[in-house]
Structures are given as structure tokens and as C-alpha cells.
Amino acid sequence: MYRSSRLLNFATILLVALSASACAMFQTGETKLQAVKTVGIISAVGGAMNIARAGLTGLNNNPSQSFPIGSWGLDDLIVQQATTALNGRFQVQPVSYNRAAFAAVKDSPIAPVNLVRGDPFKKLVQAEVSPQGLDAYIVITKAKSNFGRGARKVEGIGFLTYGTVLASYNQIHALYEIRVFDGKTFDVIEKKSAPPMDDAVEVKLPGPTRQVDDSYSPGTGEPVRNENLHRAITDLIVRSLSTTLSDMHLADVR
């Protein structure tokens, strides 16, 4: 009896000590952000729109097609919206960067390779962004996800037609993730994908998405000319950005 009581006391002390040291060693992103005063914002999400088909696709297994939508200015919009959201807490400074280099980064399809090579944007933030020396850099880039239960993957800004036996449905998405890099060590302080919003969709995605009717369809293959599509994508980004920044403890906008 006495022995088990001693063991229990020892286990309790050990647990408390481990918890305390873990808290000290592995600070949360929120704790690390407390020291950040100046930030720069980089966005490389909105240069292209991917158009794809999923579900019953016939015998075609065409990969998604990519169309330029740079003239929509989505990246400038993202930087502007994020700057407004963050300005209360941080001093946001304009930065210049090679947007194409950030947009070109892809995860390896071999998961262990991603683990070994570390964050692919770290070197880009060090080499392609100026000025250096800010406390943190916020990098907003495309995210990727599986769509439905089959083989289709979707990325960034996109329009997808999902075919079933009885009907087909259109869905748009704006999948992106936000990283906060320490301006000195270039380690990732915080990373988060934009979460799904409350829009009703039949095929879920782990990011902002909504179902749309045929008037949003790029049809002729020129999505940049479709104003409905432009407005809908912009709305998805604007609504989700404030939520995501708030979830990352970067902005208190909700």
C-alpha cells in the first residue's frame, strides 16, 4: 500500500516536471508570435485556375487544365486584405519577391521526401524576398487536396465538374495555406491551411469551396472572362482569409 502510494507520488511529480519542461521547450506559435513586431506578406495563390473533371468522367483521365487568371489580381487582393487584418497588431511592411518562384513550389508525391527536405519555402524566403531583417514573413501559397473518393487531386484556385449517373455538379475552390517564418532563423513559426467555410457542398474539401451553377462555368476555356466566377472566387478568399488569420492568432478580426 505504502509502496504504491510512493510510486503514485513519483509518477505525479514526473508528469508535472515533464509537462513544465515541454511547455518551456516547445512553445506554441502564439507564444513565439509575441516577439514579432514587423512582418512582410507574400502571396502566390492566384496566378492560375485549374479546371478539372471528377467522378464519372468517361474513359478520359485528363489531368486538370491550367488557365492564367493573373489579371484578376487575387494575390494583390490577398496581400491587401491580410495587411488590413494584421495592421492592428503588427507593423506590415511592403516586400518584393519572385511570385513565380513561390507559385512553382510543389510537394513531392513521396511523403518521406517532404519530411526529409524540410519546408520548401524556407530557402525562397531567404533568397527571393527583400528586404530581409523583418521579424517575420507571412507566406500564402496554394494548398492541395484529394477530391471525392477517387484519384482526383485539386490545388489552389479551381473549377471542378463532378459527374454522376444522374447529374453533374460544379464546384469552385480556393485552397491555400499560410506559413509564418521567423525572420531570423527562417523556421516555420506557424502553418495552417484555410479551413472550409459554412457553404453547403456535396463533395467536401478541406478548404474554402462552394457549389455553383452553370453560369459560373468557364465554358469556352477562358475563365478569366467570367465575371461571376471572378466574384465567387474573390468572395471565397476574402471570407476565408480573415477566419484563417484569426485561427492562427495573427489577427483578431472575428
CA distance 42 to 136: 11
Name the minimum Å distance from CB 1 to other proteins.
30
Give the gyration radius of the chain's Cα atoms.
22
Q: Which is nearer to other proteins, 79 or 175 (CB)?
A: 175
> Smallest distance, Å, CB 152 to other proteins?
5
6 vs 184, beta carbon nearer other proteins = 184
CB 189 within 8 A of CB 32: yes
Q: For residue 120, how many other CB atoms are within 10 A of its CB?
A: 14
In this structure, which amino acid lies at residue 138? I
Stretch in the footprint of other proteins (CB under 8 A) among 17-25, 92-100, 134-142, 214-222: 17-25
Measuring CA to CA, how many Å separate 218 from each of 28, 62, 65, 223, 226?
43, 17, 12, 5, 7
Please report how close the Cβ of residue 16 comes to other proteins at its closest, in angstroms.
12
Minimum gap (Å) between residue 12 Cβ and other proteins:
17
Tell me the C-alpha distance between 216 and 230, whole Å.
9
Is the Cβ–Cβ distance between 180 and 137 less than 8 Å? yes
What DSSP designation does 225 have? Answer: G
Does 112 engage in binding with other proteins (CB under 8 A)?
yes
Which has the closest alpha carbon to 161: 145, 144, 177, 173? 173
**With contacts defined by CB under 8 A, how many residues of the chain interact with other proteins?**
54
Specify the residue, 57 or 93, whose C-beta has the smaller distance to other proteins. 57
Give 102: exposed, middle or buried? Use CB within 10 Å, 0-12, 13-18, 19+: buried
> Can you tell me which of 4, 5, 34, 109 binds other proteins, judged by CB under 8 A?
109
- The three-state secondary structure class of 175 is coil
Determine, following the binding rule CB under 8 A, whether residue 204 of this chain makes contact with other proteins: yes
- Of 4, 71, 110, 220, the one binding other proteins (CB under 8 A) is 110
Return the residue of 4, 61, 71, 220 that touches other proteins, per CB under 8 A: 61
Residue 17: CB minimum distance to other proteins, A? 14
- How far apart, in whole angstroms, are the C-alpha atoms of residue 69 and residue 105? 18
Q: Which stretch binds other proteins (CB under 8 A): 2-10, 67-75, 89-97, 199-207?
A: 199-207
Binding mask 164-193 for other proteins (x = CB under 8 A): xxxx-x--------------------xxxx
Q: Does 116 bind other proteins (CB under 8 A)?
A: no
C-alpha cell at 46: 492566384
Q: Please give the residue ranges that form the binding site for other proteins (CB under 8 A).
A: 19, 22-23, 25-30, 53-61, 109-112, 115, 145-153, 162-167, 169, 190-193, 195-196, 198, 202-207, 209, 247
